[in-house]
Structure 1
Amino acid sequence: MSITLEEALNLVVRYAPVLNEEYVPLAESVGRRLTSDIRSAFPQPPFDRSPLDGYAVVAADVASATPDTPVKLQVVDKLWAGMPARVGVKRGQAVRLMTGCMIPSGADAVIRQEDTDLGVEIVQIFRPVASGKNICYRGEEYGTDALLLRRENRVDAASVAVAAGAGFTQLRVRRRARAVILTTGDEVRQPGTVLPAGKIYDSNTAYLSARLHQLGVETVAALTQEDDLTALSAALRRYAGEVDLILTTGGVSVGEKDLLEQAVKAAGAEVIFHGIDIKPGMPTLFAVLGNARLLGLSGNPFSAVVPFELLLRPMLAEMTGDPEPLLRADTAIAAQGFDKASPSRRFLRAFCKQGRVYPPAAQSNGQMRSMIGCNCLIDVPAGSGAIRPGDPVRILWL
């Protein structure tokens, strides 16, 4: 007996396991959620430094400098970035600095090199500079024990830069979900092989692999399995202890060779539901097999797309503690119509821009070409008639 989509959503979230935490190198943390706050062990910058090439000076010494009456100062040292300050600056002196250099003691400003004659032993200063000018002070960005990255934040390139600048080489994040894709059907062949009469190339694996990658899931294996109960149940048992998600396509309907539910039970799984009152995707199956969660999808490409997007994304959000995969609902105006009535709840692929949504005419469950460029699903309630241009519709952003 079919259940509602809301009931199915509640079940997949209820049975979704929370993934473990792990420490990973900074580059591998991108796109994942932090599981602990990151705090600084030292201030940033860790010393007073120069943001430009110039000369460290005492501002009072150059207060009267003009292009016509330059102030002359003795250059007592020259520093490059990474060198410690070796001597202090006294009245009448200057230290040549490059960008990033430590400010020597005694200096309270940095004069730009453009405002000097670039003197080596004696430098002429042509403009005054205010005390404190052109100095990045110690702790200016943050102090010791400052909160740098908050728990549950998604790690991005800026987060990695901040962590690296604070001396971190690893971050503690939620482990990536691991998945296996199992495409079933005697008729399925992989692209790149000879296509005998009566066979079709497998597009489901390509779609699911690409979407899992986009959602940050690691695909451990992608297999094609003929309609054989023993081999299918063996394949399910094999991966039950290795992955978090098992995605299958095909074999979930009521045909003579639709063997997935039998294979799932033979593998020792608990079937949570089989059938959702939506179109397409009605025969979708969800089961628990060891530590893995199995989502059995239709073999028709778009019939696999809809429950994948509707169910896997909230399940993945629960597993990873990351709300990013969740579908966002919105309202738009139909710019094009859809002539068929919808006795049951129906989802249409569509493209939405500036509040107007365009469902392509080709909505067949077996077609994927019209999915190109689509960025949303139109959620058509059960019992609806045809959609007319100008009608308000509920959409889910993909």
Structure 2
Amino acid sequence: MRSVEEHQRVVAGLIRPREPQPVPLAEALGLVLAADVVAPLSLPGFDNSAMDGYAVLAEDVAGASEDNPVTLPVAEDIPAGRTDRLTLAPGTAHRIMTGAPAPDGATAVVPVEVTDGGVDTVTIRAGARTGQHLRHAGEDVTAGTTVLHAGQVLTPAALGLAAALGLGHLEVVPRQRVLVMSTGTELVAPGTPLEPGQIYESNAVMLAAAVRDAGAEVVASTMTGDDVATFRETLSRHSADADLIITTGGVSAGAYEVVKDSFGEEVEFVKVAMQPGMPQGAGVVDGTPIITLPGNPVSALVSFEVFIRSPLRTAMAQPEPDRPRVEATLTEDLTSPRGKRQFRRGVLDARGGTVTSYGPPASHHLRWLASANCLLELGEDVVELPAGSTVRVWDLG
């Protein structure tokens, strides 16, 4: 049988990054910048007020107080968005709103809270120091400065900065586009009445969610029966826009294995020394990489975690593509099949540094995986592991 590490290398070798491309800001959250961003303009772009109040010359109100207020004529009203250039004459004030352009000559803004709020004249009850409540052009960003760097993950704040600089698109490492296909004549869509022998399809829903959780895009999530022609037609119909195809089911040793029956030398089907998830396949179909996973739901999701998630994130240049791996103390005795690496569902107490297996190891027990927060990784040479042993744990967050 193929080792886990060998199959990881095979899968990683198939998943390749797309060429960088510009995307609209609304679609860029969580993506990685492919090129530095140089500010095309300064922020702020002009001197403006940081408060609602009155633009003044600081010396005109230097002695103002509650007992000795200063009254000035209000020569102009400046709302945010006013575009004509104004000049403040000594001995006057301009009523001004937050973000509005400061008039030439103004050296301070007096907050409206220390005035009577007048429109024709204003009575000011506190002095102002030079520069008070004025935002100066370029004090946040100077035009020509590199403000975002290649390799940086685009956060809401980074996108806000790009928008403030007038940039509608950013050059990024694009999301991987993934086609998810679930196979089996016994499958029906949730919400459809079940006939005897039928089950609800869950793998496509689950793996599509795992793909999105990894940061990639799902181009389609579909299911087919065990007819080869239908399977190939469905695959061809959806794969044109895909960078990766993931299938589940149809890869074991029995009859009606539609995925195995559909591919000749395009896909290499192997047994990997692991539990769950022994039957695996990988190859290239019509120029698109394909990873074929087993059909039992736990096997499918564990296989995605072990083989696909990390190279998928690596292809999108995501930092820390691997799940966190930690050492924890086992709280119980465990057994494992010799010669296979076992991935057991578990509950990790990160604060206490302990881990407990959760549920049976069989690959159809999806309920336990849904409530687990980690995978216990037991090596191929492990047969028995007593409580108190240190084990490797994949933290699923």
1:348 matched residue in structure 2: 344
- Is the 1:47–1:137 contact (alpha carbons within 8 Å) kept by the matching residues of 2? yes
1:339 matched residue in structure 2: 334
Q: State the Cα deviation string for residues 358-381 of structure 1 (Å, max 9, x = none).
A: 321333210111112322211111
Aligned length: 393
Shift of 1:288: 1.5
- Is the 1:59–1:130 contact (alpha carbons within 8 Å) kept by the matching residues of 2? yes
CA RMSD across the alignment: 2.0
- Is the 1:244–1:291 contact (alpha carbons within 8 Å) kept by the matching residues of 2? no
Shift of 1:159: 1.6
2:266 matched residue in structure 1: 269
Q: State the Cα deviation string for residues 216-241 of structure 1 (Å, max 9, x = none).
A: 33222233222233443444455454
> Structure 1 stretch 226-235 or stretch 301-310: which is displaced more?
226-235
**Could you tell me how far apart the structure 2 residues matched to 1:363 and 1:117 are?**
75
Matched, 1:281 2:277: yes
What secondary structure does 1:179 align onto?
strand
Matched, 1:61 2:60: yes
1:315 matched residue in structure 2: 311
Paired amino acid for 2:395:
W
2:388 matched residue in structure 1: 390
Matched, 1:296 2:292: yes
- Is the 1:241–1:291 contact (alpha carbons within 8 Å) kept by the matching residues of 2? no
1:365 matched residue in structure 2: 363
1:328 matched residue in structure 2: 324
Shift of 1:13: 1.8
- Is the 1:363–1:370 contact (alpha carbons within 8 Å) kept by the matching residues of 2? no
Shift of 1:60: 1.6
- Is the 2:49–2:97 contact (alpha carbons within 8 Å) kept by the matching residues of 1? yes
- Is the 1:79–1:85 contact (alpha carbons within 8 Å) kept by the matching residues of 2? no
Matched, 1:109 2:112: no
2:220 matched residue in structure 1: 221
- Is the 1:345–1:381 contact (alpha carbons within 8 Å) kept by the matching residues of 2? yes
> Structure 1 stretch 4-13 or stretch 255-264: which is displaced more?
255-264
- Is the 2:8–2:307 contact (alpha carbons within 8 Å) kept by the matching residues of 1? yes
Paired amino acid for 2:61:
V
- Is the 1:337–1:386 contact (alpha carbons within 8 Å) kept by the matching residues of 2? no
Unaligned runs of 5+ in 1: none
> Structure 1 stretch 16-25 or stretch 320-329: which is displaced more?
320-329
Q: State the Cα deviation string for residues 268-292 of structure 1 (Å, max 9, x = none).
A: 6242x62221111111111122331
What secondary structure does 1:303 align onto?
helix
Paired amino acid for 2:81:
G
Q: State the Cα deviation string for residues 5-61 of structure 1 (Å, max 9, x = none).
A: 111222222222221222222111112112111111110000111111011111122
Matched, 1:155 2:154: yes
- Is the 2:14–2:283 contact (alpha carbons within 8 Å) kept by the matching residues of 1? no
Shift of 1:156: 2.1
- Is the 2:219–2:238 contact (alpha carbons within 8 Å) kept by the matching residues of 1? no
Shift of 1:144: 0.3
Paired amino acid for 1:168:
L
- Is the 1:241–1:290 contact (alpha carbons within 8 Å) kept by the matching residues of 2? no
- Is the 2:178–2:217 contact (alpha carbons within 8 Å) kept by the matching residues of 1? yes
Paired amino acid for 2:195:
P
- Is the 1:71–1:126 contact (alpha carbons within 8 Å) kept by the matching residues of 2? yes
Shift of 1:83: 0.7
Matched, 1:164 2:159: no
What secondary structure does 1:372 align onto?
helix
**Could you tell me how far apart the structure 2 residues matched to 1:299 and 1:338 are?**
29
Task: Kindly report which structure 2 residues correspond to 1:39-54, keeping only aligned pairs within 5 A, or say none.
Answer: 39-54=38-53
> Structure 1 stretch 25-34 or stretch 12-21: which is displaced more?
12-21
TM-score (norm 1): 0.92
TM-score (norm 2): 0.93
Unaligned runs of 5+ in 2: none
What secondary structure does 1:167 align onto?
coil
